[in-house]
Amino acid sequence: MTPEDEIAKQDVIIDSSCTLEEAIIHCQTSTPPIEIVQRQRLIPVEYYSFDGKLHKGQYVIDQDLAEDVKEAFKVIRETHFPISLVDPTSTSTETSAGFFYRVNTSNPNELSKHAYGRAIDINPMTNPYIRGDFRKPEGAKYNPSLSGTLTGDSPIVKFFKERGWEWGGDWTDRVDYMHFEKP
C-alpha cells in the first residue's frame, strides 16, 4: 500500500479551509502591495499533529516556492514530524505560517521575507527566534530532544537546504529555528 493509499483511508482533521483572499486579508498589519499579493498561492498541506492524527492546513506562499513547500510537506508527513497547526488565518503562537506582510524582526527598515511569501515558519513554540535575551514567541523554549523541534539533522531541514532554502537555525547573530527562506 502506498503512503497516499494509507492517507486516503484515514480521517483527516481540517485545520484550515479558507480562500486565498481570506488568508491574505486576515492577520495583516498593513495592506500588502497588489504586485506581491498577485504572486501568492494558497496550497493545501497534510501533516500529523501532536495528537498523532492526520491534519490538513494551508500555507500562503510565493508562486515560485509552492512546489518546494508541497514536497517538504511530503517529507514531514512521511516522517511523521509533528506540526502544531497550519492555518493562515490563525493568530495563535502555535501556528506555522508563510506569507505575512511585515517588517523584518532584526531590521525594521526592511521587509521580512514573509512579506514577499518567500519564507515559512514551522512550530514557533518549539523552534523560537532567539536574539540575546529576546525570544519570540514569548515563553517559547528550544529543546532539541522534544518532538516537533527542528535541528540540523532533521529530514525537513536537510530537504529545504538541498532545495536552496536558508534555515534560520544556522544564523550566527541570532537564531530563528522555525524559519526557512529562499531568496
Q: Report pLDDT digits (tens) over 73-119.
A: 999 999 999 999 999 999 899 999 999 988 887 788 899 899 999 99
d(CA 105, CA 103): 6
The long-range contacts involving 158-162, CB below 8 angstroms and separated by at least 24 positions, are: 159/71, 159/72, 159/75, 160/68, 160/72
Instruction: Locate the domains of the chain by residue range.
Output: 3-181
Tell me if residue 121 falls in helix, strand or coil.
Answer: strand
Other CB atoms within a 10 A radius of the CB of residue 45 amount to: 22
Extract the C-alpha cell encoding 160: 529545504
Q: Tell me: the pLDDT tens digits for 43-53? A: 999 999 999 99
Indicate whether 25 pLDDT > 90. no
- Cα separation, 138 vs 183, in Å, equals 28
Neighbouring CB atoms inside 10 A of 145's CB total: 6
- Cell numbers at 105, concatenated: 524582526
pTM: 0.90
Question: How does pLDDT run across 130-140, given as a tens digit for each residue?
Answer: 999 999 999 99
Confidence at residue 34, expressed as pLDDT on a 0 to 100 scale: 95
Residue for grid cell 499533529: 49
Return phi, psi of residue 153, to 5°.
-90, -5
